[in-house]
Structure 1
Amino acid sequence: MEYQEAIDYLYSRLPVFHRIGPKAFKPGLQNTERLCEALGNPHLKFKSIHVAGTNGKGSTSHMLASIYQAAGFRVGLYTSPHLKSFTERIRINGQPIPEQEVAGFVDTHKGLIDAISPSFFEVTVAMAFGYFAAQRVDLAIIEVGLGGRLDSTNIISPQLSLITNIGFDHTDILGETLDKIAFEKAGIIKETIPVIAGELLPETEPVFERMAAEKNAPLYRAVDYYKARVDGHRNGLLDVTVQASVSGKEYGFALDLAGDYQALNLPAVLLATDLLQEQFPVGEGVIRDALRSVVSGTGLKGRFQIIQESPKIIVDTAHNKPGLRAFFKALESVPKQQLHIVFGMVADKDPGLLLSELPVAARYYFCEAESPRSLKSIDLQKEASRFGLLGVPFTDVNSALDEAKKNTNVNDVIITVGSNYIVSELNCL
């Protein structure tokens, strides 16, 4: 079986979230457990860090992977969704899984997949775990797909659990209140396994405390140990000063992840390295070097990614209310004469929640992705007008971006934001 044949089979045979939305989500761990049992339980053969959260879990996972591979460990990284190639989801030391490995897995286990009828995501998780075990990784960073408690990745027994933050997203699946969403995310907390909470809210902290206590799991609040502030941008890097709460010592870091919101993720990352120092020792110099090269070392894309200067074009995968709020807060530090926004979103989210976070003083270029989940740009334009957001609809993101470029001068800024699927279809990425 060839790689493209394998990918076509996975997309055509299995429910895929990015195509049909919540209907593709199969709650429960039974299918993943059955797949992994047939594979010899590969998830029991490597050590891991489990990362959940509404926003920031992708950046956090990539920072951790960059740090540990820079320290000389063989590091697996599982994330989702991918932007350009399916192989982006499964990496070892920054290198995507070879296409022939994907084809070989599907060819070998097609009968098993047909018998169990799992979701696309469940097969992807099993494939990743099998690959990490076969390649004998020292440590795997596993990003939760959706939620936590019922997410396919939750069959692992990690060395550490980390929850970045809680916000409103996928409320049709996870619940419509922050405490309900926190309950689902906190489902990754395991018996006696330490858990780090990156950001806490009055509605979510009691949930974490209760669930950690029930599991006898030590709960660490990142803000009790480290506080980070952004000092500015220099040579394409984000300058961040971190103060250790206990010693009072300050550390300076330069991140190649440009968004100011990365300062919210960094304390949890640093605390994770502290808690695992005995098992996976890393030095301060290694951490500093690794944070300067997260993008090049791990292949991360779409996080406040600057793809052109003069005019500046920034791409970000922010696609929910708290994510957009953090993105536009970070955008305030970017000098601009006129802001141009290429925007698209999925149809199964409340458009008002997202559109209410967008600035009125911008020119809009509404677009849609090829995914059946995408909201039609003409409908998006109509919804946006109710919020005073005026612009023109386009049937694809590249046409929208081309038009934005025609209307800008060197002091303007263009952003593309609102959906992973919109960003994934950019030709320039």
Structure 2
Amino acid sequence: MKMNKRSLNEWLSYLEKLHPTEIELGLTRIGKVANDLNVIHFDAKVITVAGTNGKGTTCAFLEEILIQAGYKVGVYSSPHIQRYTERLRINKQEMPEQFHCQAFEKIESLRGDTSLSYFEYVTLGCLDILKAEKCDFILLEVGLGGRLDATNVVESDVSVVTTIGIDHIDWLGDDREKIGFEKAGVFRASKPVICGELDAPQSLQQHAENINADIRYAGKDFQATIGANSWSWSGHKNIDNLPLTLMPLQNASTALAVIEALELELPVTLLTNAIGHAQLAGRLQKVSSETQVDTYLDVAHNPQSAEYLATQLQHLRKPGGKVFAIVGMLEDKDLTGTFAVINSAIDYYHLIPLECYRGASQQTLLKHYQASNDLPAKVDCFETIADAYNRVLSKANNDDIIIVFGSFYTVSAFLTFSQG
């Protein structure tokens, strides 16, 4: 008798238990199954995007530009915030759960005794759907590092590195030269590479030279110049009067360099409109609420991303207004360093625990805040995000701002609470 088909939740539960470790870098296992699944080479133009921060927003800018230009665009990203199906979108539409289940069934029938990690299995599933959908462009957001990440099994046409900072020390190393080498692992010989990092490590530059990559550097081969009410971009051509956005302009600049490397001749009006309309959940995402207090969500979770968030909060701050932060983070992040760069932008902290693997307790967050603190921000600890938010609302007025940040898990918890 035929067994009932697994639901998506049943599949995900199965995948979580399938492999002994959550993260196991390397392309040997996934490479074998990817070859059998025929997802190493695509007819589409494939753009692989690596980087410590900025991968998602760079993909969002590219996605908006290419869709407005009339192309069919697939984007694979991770992690998701609320729904697993957020990980794959085609022309901004999430694929139905059934598509993912069918892809998992195919992988299960092909993998034999090859053990796959959760991320490897998920990556293969999304690649299988992308293959079937026959996109014009595919944007692959690297999960961790680059050289040994599951996405690197695909042969790409353009490789991108957005930024390079210290993160994921256990897997990538504890200095920028080691991390730069890992990111550079997505480069392809003689193919275009866009480096959005303004201070590229020597290891990255050397690897690009060794494989004769056609690399273009931010600050040298292309650059963004920010004015009071607009910004301009210069590469082989110049584009003026581009709109300022809440998402990092350096990532928009990197996206424009990719468009140039693809040799796409697109109208300036299209590029201007696309950059102004590009959005991504969890990146200074403004949420609607019954209150009049502006509330923003951001997944900033390390010093580099927190530093950018701090500058944006200073711009958003209203005259005489305060900034109330609700913070939850993972314990293996640079907690002290993250607090240190954003303290000057925050007036009141509300620390919460994350109920997940590696989630830091509010007491752990408090300890790291105290280690970083040289400013008189006021700090309270709470058991739940609901408790923290309700306390903030009891104190904040219409001139204030609420920022919820620290992790994808934090943003997800807030959205689940606020929408429930």
Same fold (TM over 0.5): yes
Residue deviations 1:87-144 (CA, integer Å, cap 9, x gap): 1111111111211111222234335457322111111111111111111111101111
Opposite residue 409 of structure 1, the aligned amino acid is N
The count of residues paired between Structure 1 and Structure 2 equals 404
Corresponding residue of 2:243:
254
Alpha-carbon distance between aligned partners in 1 of 2:106 and 2:281, rounded to the nearest angstrom: 31
Go from structure 1 to structure 2 and tell me whether the alpha carbon gap of 1:184 and 1:42 turns closer, same or farther (over 3 Å shift). Answer: closer
Alpha-carbon distance between aligned partners in 1 of 2:109 and 2:381, rounded to the nearest angstrom: 45
Alpha-carbon distance between aligned partners in 2 of 1:369 and 1:115, rounded to the nearest angstrom: 35
Residue deviations 1:275-305 (CA, integer Å, cap 9, x gap): 112xx5433222222223223xxxx201111
Corresponding residue of 1:213:
209
Residue deviations 1:364-400 (CA, integer Å, cap 9, x gap): 1101222121001133223323434542222332332
Corresponding residue of 2:347:
362
Shift of 1:420: 1.3
Corresponding residue of 2:358:
373
Alpha-carbon distance between aligned partners in 1 of 2:235 and 2:215, rounded to the nearest angstrom: 17
Alpha-carbon distance between aligned partners in 1 of 2:160 and 2:413, rounded to the nearest angstrom: 31
Corresponding residue of 1:68:
66
Q: Is the 8 A contact 1:342 1:414 kept in 2?
A: yes
Shift of 1:229: 4.1
Alignment counterpart, residue 10 of structure 2, candidates 2, 5, 25: 5
Go from structure 1 to structure 2 and tell me whether the alpha carbon gap of 1:46 and 1:411 turns closer, same or farther (over 3 Å shift). Answer: same
Unaligned runs of 5+ residues in structure 2 are: 1-5
Go from structure 1 to structure 2 and tell me whether the alpha carbon gap of 1:97 and 1:245 turns closer, same or farther (over 3 Å shift). Answer: closer
- Secondary structure in 2 aligned to 1:292? helix
1:222 lines up with 2:202 in the alignment: no
Greater CA drift, 206-215 or 49-58: 206-215
Greater CA drift, 213-222 or 114-123: 114-123
Alignment counterpart, residue 231 of structure 2, candidates 232, 235, 241: 241
Shift of 1:41: 3.3
Corresponding residue of 1:419:
407
Alpha-carbon distance between aligned partners in 2 of 1:292 and 1:146, rounded to the nearest angstrom: 29
Alignment counterpart, residue 153 of structure 2, candidates 155, 160, 164: 155
- Secondary structure in 2 aligned to 1:332? helix
Q: Is the 8 A contact 2:302 2:335 kept in 1?
A: no
Alpha-carbon distance between aligned partners in 1 of 2:121 and 2:225, rounded to the nearest angstrom: 40
Alpha-carbon distance between aligned partners in 1 of 2:154 and 2:281, rounded to the nearest angstrom: 26
Shift of 1:424: 1.3
Opposite residue 223 of structure 1, the aligned amino acid is G
Alignment counterpart, residue 259 of structure 2, candidates 255, 263, 273: 273
Residue deviations 1:196-254 (CA, integer Å, cap 9, x gap): 111232xx34223211111111111132344324446xxxxxx531142666x441223
Opposite residue 410 of structure 1, the aligned amino acid is N
Greater CA drift, 387-396 or 23-32: 387-396
Alpha-carbon distance between aligned partners in 2 of 1:410 and 1:41, rounded to the nearest angstrom: 51
Matches within 5 A, 1:16-415: 24-41=22-39, 43-112=41-110, 115-201=113-199, 204-231=200-227, 240-244=230-234, 249-254=238-243, 257-259=245-247, 262-277=248-263, 280-295=264-279, 300-308=280-288, 310-336=292-318, 337-359=321-343, 362-388=347-373, 390-415=378-403
Alpha-carbon distance between aligned partners in 2 of 1:14 and 1:393, rounded to the nearest angstrom: 36
Opposite residue 376 of structure 1, the aligned amino acid is S
Shift of 1:42: 5.1
- Secondary structure in 2 aligned to 1:28? coil
| Superposition RMSD in Å | 2.2
Alpha-carbon distance between aligned partners in 2 of 1:210 and 1:350, rounded to the nearest angstrom: 28
Residue deviations 1:8-50 (CA, integer Å, cap 9, x gap): 22234346xxxxxxx5221211122122122133544432011
Opposite residue 206 of structure 1, the aligned amino acid is Q
Return the TM-score normalized by structure 1: 0.88
Go from structure 1 to structure 2 and tell me whether the alpha carbon gap of 1:287 and 1:372 turns closer, same or farther (over 3 Å shift). Answer: same
Residue deviations 1:144-202 (CA, integer Å, cap 9, x gap): 1111111111122222111111111112211111111111111111111111111232x
Alpha-carbon distance between aligned partners in 2 of 1:153 and 1:423, rounded to the nearest angstrom: 25
Go from structure 1 to structure 2 and tell me whether the alpha carbon gap of 1:157 and 1:294 turns closer, same or farther (over 3 Å shift). Answer: same
Q: Is the 8 A contact 1:164 1:197 kept in 2?
A: yes
Alpha-carbon distance between aligned partners in 2 of 1:399 and 1:10, rounded to the nearest angstrom: 33
- Secondary structure in 1 aligned to 2:74? strand
Return the TM-score normalized by structure 2: 0.90
Shift of 1:81: 0.6
Alpha-carbon distance between aligned partners in 2 of 1:404 and 1:24, rounded to the nearest angstrom: 35
Alpha-carbon distance between aligned partners in 2 of 1:7 and 1:281, rounded to the nearest angstrom: 42
Alpha-carbon distance between aligned partners in 1 of 2:398 and 2:22, rounded to the nearest angstrom: 43
Q: Is the 8 A contact 2:239 2:268 kept in 1?
A: no
Opposite residue 366 of structure 2, the aligned amino acid is Q
Alpha-carbon distance between aligned partners in 2 of 1:159 and 1:83, rounded to the nearest angstrom: 29
Alpha-carbon distance between aligned partners in 2 of 1:398 and 1:31, rounded to the nearest angstrom: 42
